[in-house]
Structure 1
Amino acid sequence: MQGKKLYQEKLFSSFQLSHRVPENNFYRRLKEVLDLSFLYKQTDTYYGKCGQKSIDPVVFYKLCLVGYLENIISDRKLMEHCSMRLDILFFLGFDIDEQLPWHSTLSRTRQLFPEDLFEQVFTHVLSMCVEKGIVSGHTQAIDSAPIKANASMDSLELKVPEEQLEAYLQKARYQSREDRKPKKNKAPEKQQTITASKRELQEIESRNRNWKKNQDQRPGASNKGAKYTSNKTHYSPTDPDARISVKPGKARKLNYLNNISVDTAHHVITDVKAYHADKKDSQYLQDTTKRLKQRLKEQGLLWTTLLADAGYSSGENYAFLEKENIISYIPQHGTYKGGPAGFIFCKEENYWLCPQGKKVTFRKRKMMKNSLQDHYLTKRSDCKNCPTKQKCIGKGFEKKIAITVYKDQYERNNKRVRSKLGKIMKGKRQSTVEPVFGTLTQFMGLRKINTIGIAQANKVMHMSATAYNLKKMLKFMSKTAETMTNQAISHFAILKSIFGSFSFPLRT
């Protein structure tokens, strides 16, 4: 007989979320293992003693985690999504007839709590991963990637000389009143003032001419701010902490730099930090190393090996890592050379010997482009009648050699990188940290920073990394439980084959 379902709402019903959410549901299992009760004590000073009750800090952080677990970066969409999911309501501790907080409450609370609090939660979850045995600590892979800021290239303003700043601002304000709505400039006056030297401005102008000639057909090149922009000549009044950066083949954008460290055992993130995107990766390595080493030490783990790409290469970093007793596998940057071809270095007396037997002696130590170098020169009389002069120095008068003072550190690192173990470590780095970035940006809500300022961007990155680690931990626990069950069944089968059937049932 054909059935026909007629729906009619009940005035009263008996309903329990705990009965409707399966035992193996992700959020149910997460609710059982994640304890954030320490947040009450940590956030007590940010609330008054009277007035209406604000959002529960544990509920706030769980809501944020759900956003990154579900790859939702809009607070408004997040609240709509949570209200439709029974398992998420159960995880948050809300019943089906309870009103969820307003989406604007999340934004205000995120700004209220300091960066340290989000880092504490990240460290708390990392401790849980260490207890489960999925963090070895001895080998860490470090990498960074630009994350789009919440600001448009069309919002860029031109930096002007300090003496012209006030006149420029008055003109800009008048133009705003005439043509468009007033825009609040959040940048300090120091950032609105041009800092580039005359030589740097000439270099920027030269690059602009090359861009106009060769790169105006690239993706995004038609955007207002994509051409002829530099951090030395432009800034964003919408998000002053965002910096212009570009990757080969990509359009220029306002970005933040996301620097992470990943443990190679089970790909757990052990450190994350937001930096300005206008500097090289190598300039942030020492800061990352100090912070990560202290965190692993607090977890009772010994860090011995660091894996990174050539962007982190510098003599200063190699020397620093050796001082910290950390073995580095960082390919050398393309600009490094161990010395001119055919020249022999005499370390004891500190000079180079050319193929014709003439000495290139040490003259001075000088800082060149943020790198400390030793400079060596020959005598003019030695090169005057040399048969290989034209090939060696061209129209010059003496041979000049400029080489980094960290040559020995470079050589030791390069020897490790070229070894058989170095090639294995390169593959391990590529299979460890690079897929993690892909997961964070594509599936964990880190494709764009939805806040303003580097402090808020740092909070976003910590929450995304925390959600990633929680997912890793639950997946590992699930696999471990399944393995133990299979082992128990296998052992039971062996015993049964030996002793026959048992009178007691097997519990799995």
Structure 2
Amino acid sequence: MQGKHHHQPRLFVPVTLDSLVPEDNIYRQLDSALNLQFLYKETESFYGTEGQPSIDPTVFFKILLVGYLNNLQSDRKLIQFCANSLDVRWYLGYELDEALPWHSTISRTRALFGEEIFLKLFRQVLSLCVQKGMVRGKRQAVDSAFIKANASLDSLKEKEIVGDGEAWADELDSNSEFTVSQQRKNLVDKHHQWKKQAYRDMPGHSAAAKRERLEAASKEETDDNGNRIRGKYLSNHTHYSPTDPDARISVKPGKARQMNYFGQLAVDDAHHVITGATADFADQRDSQCLEKIVELATSHLEENGLKAEQILADAGYSSGEALEYLNRKELDAWIPNFGQYVPQRDGFEYNRELNRYECRKPGGKAANLEYKGERPVSKGYIKRTYRGSESDCGKCPLRAECCGAATRFKKIDDSIHKELYDAMHRKLTGNPKTARKMSRIRSKTVEPVLGTLLNFTSMRRVHTRGIEGATKHVLMAALTYNLKKYLKWVRKNPVVSKPVEKLVKKGAKMKELFSFSRYSSIINTCGKNRTIYQNKQINYLV
């Protein structure tokens, strides 16, 4: 017979919020796993002694955790989700008839608390993972990803051009984010002109492609005077965003330019627990960020009695300064050298004792390229220069092939850290199997973690402004990821209670254990030849 439900609202319902939340609910597990009481003392200095009471600090961070767990990026949607969820209300400690904090309260409190509060919460979660044996500490994999900033390219403004000399010195002491010297602007313009010439014969730069662009340009917008609005080259040297001055223009191959921050992660290879997380400026190279993220990870591990021994990273983290830092810290690094590295010069041999290059080309004049000193280059590197003489190279039959048609002598530039690059090259080529193994470990350790954070933990975009807000965002996403792994680990690896453990240690067989009427069912297996049982009255699962 077909049934039909008749709903009649009741004035009084004899039910509690606690009875509506299942025992195995994730928020019950979260509430028992993470104790946030320490936040009262840590956040006390951010408040005065008078005025209206603020939002409870523990409630604030619980709301943030709910947002990152459910991939909710908007504070409005987050509060709406919390208000409509019975289990979240139970977790926050708000009854059905209580109003939750306003969404703007979440935004203001996030800006109020310092970065150090978020970092302490991250360390608290990491300590839980260490206590459960989820972190080994020996090997750390490092990688990065762009995080979309809360600013657009349309907000960019050109930096004010100041004169040279005294004005340049004044710029160094002032806010240089909004000014640029005439010399620097000329260098940027010169670089863009060089790109035009260099890419002239490449696909997309042919005459047909130019005609297509001209036809498309005829349909583009014009200004009030009828002049076509042309696209401009955008550079961090010449432009800034007044909306978010800390955001930087950056681009990945095959992607459009946008305003970004740089998220950096260090992940332990044992169970993929994040040991370090931070945000940096997007115009930095990976190698410039290595020291900061490694320092964070190693300090967090040392706080928990662990020590990092190996660092795995891709070629983007390769630089002389980075390798020098890792050597100083006595860390075993496996980082491929960057693409421009040349292990040896064709036809020339380096004499380490005399610090010079010697020509070994058949038919050459056996010229010696003497050391001429060190000099900085435009990208900030310092190079050593080795140069031959016109008397040796000028009359050499291989001069045009070796030096060029217009140059009268051979010159070789080396990095001042060439010894470090050479040592890494010998290490990787001398141990190819180990190098491939380390590369695979790095890929399967840190890259899936980054993908999860970007796609399922709200880290793809930051909705606050400023580098501090971006760092808080990365820390919250990272600690939420660790917390989810921790809860999953606890469910799969419960602790054996002492009554059952004693029976198992005595060698009790399965039939004997089942003969006790108080043992009702097998819950899980934990370790070799051990079984966890559940009592009808007493829960043996800790």
TM-score bracket, normalised by the shorter chain, equals: 0.7 to 0.9
Q: Percent identity?
A: 42
Deviations 1:436-460 (A, max 9, x none): 1111111001121101111111111
- Per the alignment, do residues 43 and 330 of structure 1 end up closer, same or farther by CA in structure 2, a change over 3 Å counting? same
Tell me if 1:194 matches 2:180. Answer: yes
- Corresponding position of 2:317: 312
Range moving further from structure 2, 365-374 or 97-106: 365-374
- Per the alignment, do residues 353 and 49 of structure 1 end up closer, same or farther by CA in structure 2, a change over 3 Å counting? same
- Corresponding position of 1:296: 301
CA-CA distance at 1:495 after TM superposition: 5.0
Tell me if 1:99 matches 2:112. Answer: no
- Corresponding position of 2:9: 9
Distance 1:453 1:500 in 2: 61
Deviations 1:270-305 (A, max 9, x none): 111111111211111122222322222112111110
Alignment partner for residue 449 of structure 2, among 424, 433, 436? 436
Deviations 1:104-156 (A, max 9, x none): 10001111111111111111111111111111111111111111111121111
Tell me if 1:266 matches 2:271. Answer: yes
- Corresponding position of 1:404: 415
Match runs of 1:342-357 below 5 Å = 342-355=347-360, 356=364, 357=366
Distance 2:469 2:510 in 1: 62
Match runs of 1:215-254 below 5 Å = 228-254=233-259
Distance 1:49 1:149 in 2: 36
Amino acid at match of 2:9: E
- Corresponding position of 1:180: none
Distance 1:92 1:500 in 2: 41
- Per the alignment, do residues 90 and 227 of structure 1 end up closer, same or farther by CA in structure 2, a change over 3 Å counting? farther
Distance 1:353 1:267 in 2: 49
Distance 1:438 1:424 in 2: 21
Amino acid at match of 2:390: R
Alignment partner for residue 398 of structure 2, among 368, 388, 402? 388
- Corresponding position of 1:417: 428
Q: Is the 8 A contact 1:75 1:103 kept in 2?
A: yes
Q: Is the 8 A contact 1:338 1:403 kept in 2?
A: no
Distance 1:446 1:255 in 2: 12
CA-CA distance at 1:321 after TM superposition: 0.6
- Corresponding position of 2:330: 325
CA-CA distance at 1:505 after TM superposition: 4.1
Distance 1:499 1:26 in 2: 35
The answer to which structure, 1 or 2, has the higher relative contact order (CA under 8 A, 6+ apart) is 1
Corresponding pairs, count:
479
Distance 2:60 2:418 in 1: 52
CA RMSD of aligned residues (A): 3.0
- The SS at the match of 2:134 is coil
Q: Is the 8 A contact 1:115 1:459 kept in 2?
A: yes
Q: Is the 8 A contact 1:362 1:374 kept in 2?
A: yes
Tell me if 1:341 matches 2:357. Answer: no
- Per the alignment, do residues 207 and 390 of structure 1 end up closer, same or farther by CA in structure 2, a change over 3 Å counting? closer
- Per the alignment, do residues 61 and 389 of structure 1 end up closer, same or farther by CA in structure 2, a change over 3 Å counting? same
Deviations 1:150-204 (A, max 9, x none): 11211111223137xxxxxxxxxxxxxxxxxxxxxxxx96422234342222213
- The SS at the match of 2:146 is strand
- The SS at the match of 1:194 is strand
Match runs of 1:102-251 below 5 Å = 102-162=102-162, 190-195=176-181, 196-207=184-195, 228-251=233-256
CA-CA distance at 1:225 after TM superposition: 11
Structure 1 gap segments, 5+ residues each: 164-187
Distance 2:121 2:442 in 1: 26
- Per the alignment, do residues 197 and 20 of structure 1 end up closer, same or farther by CA in structure 2, a change over 3 Å counting? same
Structure 2 gap segments, 5+ residues each: 164-173, 222-228, 520-532, 535-542
Amino acid at match of 1:104: S
- The SS at the match of 2:277 is strand
The TM-score normalised by the length of structure 1 is 0.87
